[in-house]
Structure formats: structure tokens, C-alpha cells
Amino acid sequence: AAFSRKWGRRCRNLLKKYGLTLFEQEIELSEDSQAASNWNIKNHKGGLFTSGTGGAILGEGANLFIIDDPTKGFKKANSKTHQQELNDWWFTEAKTRLDADLEKGIKPGVIAIFQRLNKWDLAGQILYKKEGDKTLPNEPQMPLSEAIEVLRNGGTIPYGTWVILNLPALAEENDPLGREPGEALWPQKVPREELEQTRSTMGSFRFNAVYQGNPMEPEGGIFKREWFKKSKVPDKKMDELVKDLPSLRYWDLGASGEDGDNTAANLSYWDGEYIYFRKQLNKGLTPLQVDKYFVDITLRDGKQTVVRIEQEPGASPKVLINKFQRHKKLRGYRIRPDKVSKAGDKLTRSFDLQALAEDGKVLIAESIYDMVVNELVEFTGEEGGTDNIVDTCTGASRYWLRPKRRVSA
């Protein structure tokens, strides 16, 4: 709502400043309706009404309906609940507000501006539908280039057709602006080299959505096995590589969560560019065994190793973490919770590791290589899968990258 009011205020202020000179006739705001989110034009039927997605628009009609970025951030975009809310809002509320101008005989129109974040964000749900394993067109649509050709040849675009203009940051084949493949959209502001670095840092999964306007569905999981072909390192060689590097033990205490979950603990190192996975615990433990394993492993790792414990919402994880922090044998150890949102946000939490893996910046000790890689490549981000090892690996990556930890020379 605040975002929509901001743009309503800007439009109102522009009209106040230029309304008397910009148009063929004098255009002024109505004296009794000048709110930032709801204003009318003096002596005319026109006006502007703004609202956030899901806001109260019933009872209002629109000759022109403008949608601007209805979803903020990957976390919401990946939420099935939010996707359904958008579907309900568009098809049962927003779309029903479209009103023709009967006096002028003009049908209503829609302008939708999207930063694409998910295959099934609002743009995806408008344009496509799923039938079994297939993705099919939903509402009528055509690319802008085709629409221009139709109009140039004297034709008309059928009412209800979405005309699509996608301007990727890096040009692809058949670019609508005539750019060569790989050419930057605005090189004076963001040159190609900077965009390529961004792709490397954030990973192609997110880059294709945010910068290219082409979100993809994970095919066979978020992590690709080929990303790890050069990741395996003999244990002794790994020990030499990490000898003087900072270390982290990241825990997912399965016994404190759902019944049957394994407890997982990952020992990682960081050199400022590469992440090194040296040891990996993944074992079904009783609560008493969890206590013993945690204390023994923490003591063995030593005080120089930072300890983080995944803490999802709920009292049980917090109680257990507090218990370890107060343990007599563990005084002086850097034990902290890593507070995460509900389990359904696992996909978002995996992006840091995904970017590192795709860029070849993940090294894994040979003794745990198969165990770690096999679970990573089977991970889909959906609930119900086996993902304890994934949680520890992604948690470690977030720790090292957010903010990016500096390594002393």
C-alpha cells in the first residue's frame, strides 16, 4: 500500500505542476479529492486510485489497470501460499475491475510491469498453466515484435491479448532492441563485465529470473552433479589446504524437530573464495545421544571453531540451544543460533551455496563426497525430502557469505 501511495503521490504532483500546460486543455485536480492514493480530475470523470496487491479495490472501476511488481523478493515468490493469493487476487478481484469507456467506445486495458522471480509468479500464472507435466499457454499472448508487424500491416490485435516485451540485462537471440547476444541493456550504467560477475556471484537460477526475465523451474534439483566434478579432494590434501583457515561447525539438530529426522553437522572452512567441506555427520540420534555428540564434537573441534545451530520457529530448538550455551564444558565456545524462517523457505536459503557450486568454488573431502553430493543433487527445495545434510551445507554457506567473511593473510 505504501509503495502504491508513493506512485500515486508522484503522479498527483506531476499533474499539479504540468496539468495546465501539458495538455490541449487545462487539467486540474478536483478540489475535493486530492489524496495521494485517490484523486480525481476537475470537471472530468477521470482520476487515479492506488492500492497494494490484495487491497480494497472492489467497487472501483478501471479503464486502465496498472500492475507494478506485485511480489517483493524471492522468499514470497517461492511461497505456494503467496502464489495462490496472487491467483485469487488477479482472477477474482483485479480482472473484474476492468471497465470499458462506454462514451468513447474504448475497451479497458492492462499494463503489467514485473521483475520475474519465479516461474509461477503472477506473470507466470497469467501467461501459462500446468496440465500434468506440461506447461501450456494460458491467456492469449504474442511478443511485441509480432504485434508491431501486425499493426504495420494494417491488422488488429485481438482484444484480451497480452503483448509481451522482455528486456533482458544481457541480450539473447532475437533481441527486441536489435542487440547482439550478450550485449548489456544499459552498458553506461551496468557494463557487461559487471553483469557477468553478478551472474557468477548469484548463480544462473536467480540471475535468469531477476536480470533476464526468464525464471526457470528446477530440473532434477537445484544442484547439478556436474558442478561437483572437480570438487573431490583427498582427505590429507584437504587437511593441508584448511590448516590455517577459519572453521565453522553447523548443526541441524534433527532430534529437536520432526520425529525420525537425522541430526546433521557439517565442518567447513573458508579462504575468502572457496568453501571447504571437511567433515559431515548425518545420523539418527535420540535426544540423549544428540547431547553427547554435540558436546564431544564441539570439544574436539576446539574453541577456534565457530558453532552455529539452525533454529526454526518454535520453543524446542531454542531450549536446546540455550542448554548447550550454558553447558559447563562448553564455556568460552562461540555457540550461537542461526534463526531461519519456516522450513518451506529452504529453496531461498540454498541460493548462496548454489552460486558457489555453479562457479566451482566448493571443495569436498573425499571421505564425505558421495554422501554430501548425492543429497545435494536430489534436493528440490520442496518439503518432505531428505535434506539434513543440505541444511548444514547451505547454512555454512550463508554464514561465510552473509556478510562475506574476511580471512586474515
Q: Which residue did the predictor score with more confidence, 60 or 197?
A: 197
Confidence at 197, pLDDT banded by 50, 70, 90: very high
Q: Which long-range contacts (CB under 8 A, 24 or more apart) does 164-168 make?
A: 164/127, 166/213, 166/214, 167/213, 168/211, 168/212, 168/213, 168/214
Q: Where are the domains of the chain?
A: 2-171, 172-217, 225-401
How do strand 305-311 and strand 162-164 relate by DSSP bridges?
unpaired
What is the distance, to the nearest Å, from the Cα of residue 107 to the centroid of all Cα atoms in its chain?
Answer: 36
pLDDT value of position 344: 52
pLDDT value of position 327: 95
The mean pLDDT of 259-287, rounded to a whole number, is 91
Nearest-angstrom CA–CA distance, 326 and 135: 53
Dihedral sign from CA coordinates of 19, 24, 26, 32: negative
Confidence at 266, pLDDT banded by 50, 70, 90: very high
pLDDT tens for each residue of 341-362: 765 578 888 999 999 999 999 9
Confidence at 260, pLDDT banded by 50, 70, 90: low
pLDDT tens for each residue of 302-344: 999 999 999 987 757 788 899 999 999 999 999 999 998 765 5
pLDDT value of position 407: 63
The mean pLDDT of 27-53, rounded to a whole number, is 83
Where does residue 141 fall: left (phi above 0), alpha (psi -120 to 50 degrees), or beta otherwise? beta
Nearest-angstrom CA–CA distance, 267 and 297: 10
Nearest-angstrom CA–CA distance, 393 and 275: 10
pLDDT at 258 over 50: no
Percent residues over pLDDT 90 in the chain: 60
pLDDT value of position 148: 94
pLDDT at 152 over 70: yes
CATH number among 1.20.58.220, 3.30.365.10, 3.30.420.240, 3.40.50.2300, domain 225-401 = 3.30.420.240
Q: Which residue did the predictor score with more confidence, 34 or 367?
A: 367
pLDDT value of position 383: 66
pLDDT at 24 over 80: no
pLDDT value of position 256: 47
**Three cell numbers, residue 32:** 475535493
pLDDT value of position 409: 44
Q: Is the pTM of this model over 0.75?
A: no
CB 267 within 8 A of CB 256: no
A 10 A CB-CB count for 376 gives 26
pLDDT at 251 over 60: yes
CA distances for 310 relative to 17, 286, 395, angstroms: 54, 18, 8
pLDDT value of position 257: 45
Task: Name, in order, each residue with C-beta under 8 angstroms of 176's C-beta and a sequence gap of 6 or more.
Answer: 143, 144, 145, 165, 166, 167
pLDDT value of position 37: 78
pLDDT at 141 over 50: yes
